Structure 1
Amino acid sequence: MTITRRDAVAGALALPAAADAASQWRRGHDGQRIADLGNGTFLNPVMPGDRPDPAVLKDGKDYYLTFSSFDSYPGCVIWHSRDLVNWRPIGPALNQNIGSVWAVSLEKHAGRYFLYIPVKASPRNSIFVIYADRIEGPWSEPVDLHLPNHIDPCHAVGEDGSRWLFLSGGDRVRLSEDGLSTVGAVEHVYDPWRYPADWVVESFSPEGPKIHRRGDWFYMLTAVGGTAGPPTGHMVIAARARSIHGPWEQCPQNPLVRTISTDERWWSRGHASLVEGPAGDWWALYHGYEAGYWTLGRQTLLDRVVWTRDGWPQMTGGDLSAPLAAPRGGERVPNGLPLSDGFATLALGTRWSFFKPRTDEARRVRVAANTLHLKATGMAPVDSSPLLQVATDQAYRIECDIEIDPGTTAGMLLFYDDRLYCGLGFDGERFVTHQYGQERGRPANPHGRSMRLRVTNDRHIVTFDTSGDGGRTWRRFDRGMEVSGYHHNVRGGFLMLRPGLYAAGDGEARFRNFTYRAAPFRA
């Protein structure tokens, strides 16, 4: 196999494949791209922006979806659909910071909803469970299952009614009848299929098991090859068994999904779940990186599944670069989420989230009279727990009116994590330039303690503009940046580059009329 290299890896140039499809996407809130093309077809991604490790639940006519939320809180936002293409947010299920949230399992059992949540945390990792009698909540406080050595749980019910968590590495552990504790020790039950030794991957890393029952078979989908790193690494494999207790038989067509070249639009495709569609057909949801745009994180993709005569699932969407026929029989729900915010209400957990919040972080923020009041803390974005959004587009512009108290520094960011970010802030006398996760320069501020800021991210080329008259006239700030390297393969952490707001120092900052606008794609 020949692996080609494209200049798109640097992120500064538009890919021909992406450009060909650019005009096909429909536009929704704020000009954001949406998958539903309105003619019975859709174009991936169905959930743009950082929506990794999708966990899907079919509940009658309704579908619910959530994702790894890592260090963003409130987290584990639940989304709702009736056709698998159009999704709207319901709200966050997890409000208490228990650590960095990895791939979760969303289930319904005996009329109750469960979320099994693996976390990376100090002093130890673990897996927690929360539950609710309604998908909208309220959700319970987290219950620690004391499983420090595994990630990516998947709840499964055996043919004998027993409840299990399948775990990374081909392991599993039994659950109590109420699903809130474990019974016995972790056991190894499955050795995943191995790819050829000369394939270019990140690591073996068997993870993300998903158990599905269809007819007389239990099917297990597993991710191997590593989540990021080389675009050709991540993949989906399958196995099946007549019993939840095994033995597990490898699919002869493994892998079911894999990126084989950087010429493809979607890189590092993997971590798949099977789900029955509204008309009884079958689909798979999994994630992938958009070619050249690791900065957008892993986005959720939808692929049609058919079953072979001998009972194995096969994906049929190819490299997902072309529109596909949409699931039949479903009902559209209002799609997407506006990212622009007039601050009539406080949209924590849907539109905004804190990065690594402390226990009382939510007390820093309130809205009144269409103004977001954010109490300053820390000295810079590194220790001020900024408010962030999930961007959905390759190119976008954010603007906001910002007013600060004496002693406050505030501004707008493109934020990967607390060691890698860029942006522009100001106090009453000087600007502060954020670049490479550092504070780089402090030129004079002619606008004082109130101005409108604009940040434009045009396919990784970042510019800043300032206005002292509410946006009627603009002044280009004399520092541009290039941010294609602000991503996991440079920094680690499996995150994305998020637009956001921060306030540091003393006092508070007031934000008004925040707008997000996706820019047109290049021809």
Structure 2
Amino acid sequence: MPTFSNPVLAGSHPDPSICRVGEDFYLVTSSFAYYPGIPVLHSRDLVGWQPLGHVVDRPSQVPLTGLDVSDGLWAATIRHHGGTFYVVVALARGRQGSTTYLFTASDPAGPWSDPVVLEAEGIDPSLFFDDDGRCWFTACRDAAEPEVTGPGELWMRELDLESLALTGPTHALWYGAMRGAWVEAPHLYKRDGVYHLIGAEGGTERHHAVTAARADAVTGPYSTDPRSPLLTHRHRGAAEPIHNVGHVDLVDTPAGETWAVALGVRPLDGTHTLGREVFLVPVEWTADGPVFAPDTGRVRLSERLPAGTGAGAVAPVRPARDDFGGTALGPEWSSLRGPVGHLVSTGPGEGGLTIRLSPEPLTGTGTPAFVARRQQHLRMRARARVRFTATAPTQEAGLVVFQHAHHATLALTADASGVPHVVLTAHEAGSPTRLGAVAVTSDEVVLVVDSDESGYTFHVEDGTWTTLGSIERPFFSTERAGGFVGVHLGLYGIGGADAGEAHVHWFEYAPAR
């Protein structure tokens, strides 16, 4: 039987949501404080996904300045109805939902509208279009009486499709299946006249689980599916290759099957660095409701292909080397909290990428001179050919391994005498530690980082090959660094006003065996 490999979206792609229009599937994931925000991807087979664009691609749409990397745009939902695509998302500040936005578009590739602010509290908003054309908004929030019901509740109001405003009474739907667990990630589906409310409980880490309730009317009352949790890996041992499974969204295929997209992580010795990824799971409907992974009860690294897809369906592979020859960065590149066109640019002349140094630090809450792409393979090599002439130790430009509060820089800089050096520095919660340095004979070098099961090793090519040092892999893990994002590999420049420019001839990313 033809199979595919999970995850179908590797690297940091948390909280997937999916919809289908005809033969086409569209998927969005969380983007947090990365910009542009809310990536939109397209597939014809659920396995190979191509980037289409982003919902938030104008800074006027949503302000991200001042936010921590793991705040920002959380858990969007995408739906289609009557020729219009809808995306709802919560903006988080201080790890709490602060504003709920609704975007619309006639083409999922964009442009997407300026957002409508909905009168909603909490996080993880979703939309459900019923058979009568009415639209229902659901989300999760703190429960009014947590000592009675448990800490969280899923709630609902109707969305008026003309005014794009919530209207009518608020309905408290469900408090979850597990006493003491905060219920979140609501999505509503209708099957054979029954409304199925799918949620997630146990947090997004080791105890993550998919739970469910059902009702005969859209507004309830909802009764807990006694089979809950319907999908979890929390009971599996350390040898299980996939953990933290949950936050699912379901979609029916043209062939009549149902599949779920779910988040999960691939830990090694109890820690993971790639972030929460998108896994594809078969679903079977029964009289009791949905059965996830009916043959095995678990998410697998190798799974059968969806019916009606070709045996050759694979995720697209982007070129290993980017010479930045276009007029804009490719869709795999992101900045923090806003556009960086005034700091980072591609263009005519010698080509490549120009980085104008900025005083904004990578640990700040503004927009630094920084662009990055997700790390998608545990074993990989990233290289960049960088030219930069520093005049002081406060000026630096180069390669960065970035994970929330932890990052490591491999930078061209100068010592106090103005002699060019390449310096390796580990940054932990704002505290830098120099791990290695070497004088170089040129202001143009190749900076290299290798990653494997043990850690990250940093090198410089300057006519000769020099290894500056290594950092253990758990340093960059979510378990140690905190937050909700995975490792990003980036290019950056830091310096005072008029500190000059760095030039990146090319950047190369390639998995290693």
| Residue number among 324, 327, 330 corresponding to 1:343 in the alignment | 324
Q: Structure 1 pair 131/466, CA: closer, same or farther in 2 (3 Å)?
A: same
Q: Which amino acid aligns with 1:237?
A: T
Q: CA deviation at 1:171?
A: 1.1
Note if contact 1:115-1:130 (Cα within 8 Å) is conserved in structure 2. yes
| Residue number among 340, 356, 365 corresponding to 2:337 in the alignment | 356
Q: CA deviation at 1:53?
A: 0.5
Q: CA deviation at 1:348?
A: 4.1
Q: CA deviation at 1:406?
A: 4.0
Note if contact 2:196-2:289 (Cα within 8 Å) is conserved in structure 1. no
Match of 1:30 in 2: none
Note if contact 2:97-2:123 (Cα within 8 Å) is conserved in structure 1. no
Match of 1:423 in 2: 409
| Residue number among 455, 460, 468 corresponding to 1:461 in the alignment | 455
Match of 1:251 in 2: 225
1:16-415 to 2 correspondences below 5 Å:
40-95=2-57, 96=59, 97-99=62-64, 100-121=72-93, 125-147=98-120, 149-168=121-140, 169-178=153-162, 180-184=164-168, 186-194=170-178, 204-228=181-205, 231=206, 233-259=207-233, 260-261=235-236, 262-292=238-268, 293-316=271-294, 317-321=296-300, 323-330=302-309, 332=313, 335-338=316-319, 340-345=321-326, 348=329, 350-357=331-338, 361-368=340-347, 369-378=350-359, 380-383=361-364, 384-407=368-391, 408-415=395-402
Q: Structure 1 pair 343/211, CA: closer, same or farther in 2 (3 Å)?
A: same
Q: Structure 1 pair 340/212, CA: closer, same or farther in 2 (3 Å)?
A: farther
Q: Which amino acid aligns with 1:475?
A: T
Note if contact 2:293-2:299 (Cα within 8 Å) is conserved in structure 1. no
Q: Which amino acid aligns with 1:329?
A: G
Residue deviations 1:266-302 (CA, integer Å, cap 9, x gap): 1110001111123111111101111225211111111
Match of 2:493 in 1: 503
Match of 1:14 in 2: none
Note if contact 2:356-2:369 (Cα within 8 Å) is conserved in structure 1. no
Residue deviations 1:63-94 (CA, integer Å, cap 9, x gap): 01110011110121111111111111111221
Note if contact 1:159-1:244 (Cα within 8 Å) is conserved in structure 2. no
With a CA cutoff of 8 Å and minimum separation of 6, indicate the structure with the bigger relative contact order: 1
Match of 1:13 in 2: none
Match of 1:22 in 2: none
Note if contact 2:215-2:221 (Cα within 8 Å) is conserved in structure 1. yes
CA distance in 2, matches of 1:290, 1:519: 17
Q: CA deviation at 1:257?
A: 0.6
Q: Which amino acid aligns with 2:359?
A: G
CA distance in 2, matches of 1:264, 1:62: 33
CA distance in 2, matches of 1:280, 1:107: 19
Q: 3-state DSSP class of the match of 1:104?
A: strand
Note if contact 1:56-1:106 (Cα within 8 Å) is conserved in structure 2. yes
Residue deviations 1:194-249 (CA, integer Å, cap 9, x gap): 26xxxxxxx71211011122231222110000112xx2x00001222222111223
Q: Structure 1 pair 345/103, CA: closer, same or farther in 2 (3 Å)?
A: same
Q: Structure 1 pair 488/444, CA: closer, same or farther in 2 (3 Å)?
A: closer
Note if contact 1:163-1:179 (Cα within 8 Å) is conserved in structure 2. no
Note if contact 2:11-2:376 (Cα within 8 Å) is conserved in structure 1. yes
Q: CA deviation at 1:379?
A: 5.8
Q: CA deviation at 1:427?
A: 1.5
Q: Structure 1 pair 349/245, CA: closer, same or farther in 2 (3 Å)?
A: farther
Gaps of 5+ in 1: 1-38, 196-202
CA distance in 2, matches of 1:163, 1:325: 34
CA distance in 2, matches of 1:290, 1:499: 18
Q: 3-state DSSP class of the match of 2:341?
A: helix
Q: 3-state DSSP class of the match of 1:152?
A: strand
Note if contact 1:411-1:424 (Cα within 8 Å) is conserved in structure 2. yes
**TM-score, with structure 2 as normaliser:** 0.85
CA distance in 1, matches of 2:309, 2:346: 37
Q: Structure 1 pair 249/187, CA: closer, same or farther in 2 (3 Å)?
A: closer
Note if contact 2:380-2:509 (Cα within 8 Å) is conserved in structure 1. yes
CA distance in 2, matches of 1:458, 1:285: 27
CA distance in 1, matches of 2:2, 2:97: 48
Structure ranking higher in strand proportion: 2
Note if contact 1:287-1:298 (Cα within 8 Å) is conserved in structure 2. yes
Q: Which amino acid aligns with 2:427?
A: Y
Match of 1:25 in 2: none
CA distance in 2, matches of 1:375, 1:92: 25
Gaps of 5+ in 2: 65-71, 141-152, 415-419
CA distance in 2, matches of 1:189, 1:154: 14
**TM-score, with structure 1 as normaliser:** 0.83
Q: Structure 1 pair 509/180, CA: closer, same or farther in 2 (3 Å)?
A: farther
Q: Which amino acid aligns with 2:45?
A: D
Q: Structure 1 pair 105/178, CA: closer, same or farther in 2 (3 Å)?
A: farther
Q: Structure 1 pair 235/348, CA: closer, same or farther in 2 (3 Å)?
A: farther
CA distance in 2, matches of 1:452, 1:322: 35
CA distance in 1, matches of 2:356, 2:165: 40
Q: CA deviation at 1:312?
A: 3.9
Q: CA deviation at 1:325?
A: 1.4
Q: Structure 1 pair 213/460, CA: closer, same or farther in 2 (3 Å)?
A: farther
Note if contact 1:81-1:333 (Cα within 8 Å) is conserved in structure 2. no
Residue deviations 1:407-453 (CA, integer Å, cap 9, x gap): 54101111012x31112112242333321334323745223421111
Q: Between the two proteins, what is the percent identity of the paired residues?
A: 28
CA distance in 1, matches of 2:265, 2:250: 20
Note if contact 1:41-1:324 (Cα within 8 Å) is conserved in structure 2. yes
| Residue number among 490, 494, 499 corresponding to 2:480 in the alignment | 490
Q: 3-state DSSP class of the match of 2:432?
A: strand
| Residue number among 506, 509, 513 corresponding to 1:513 in the alignment | 506
Q: Structure 1 pair 295/322, CA: closer, same or farther in 2 (3 Å)?
A: closer
Q: CA deviation at 1:184?
A: 4.4
CA distance in 2, matches of 1:117, 1:322: 29
CA distance in 2, matches of 1:336, 1:142: 33
CA distance in 2, matches of 1:209, 1:421: 34
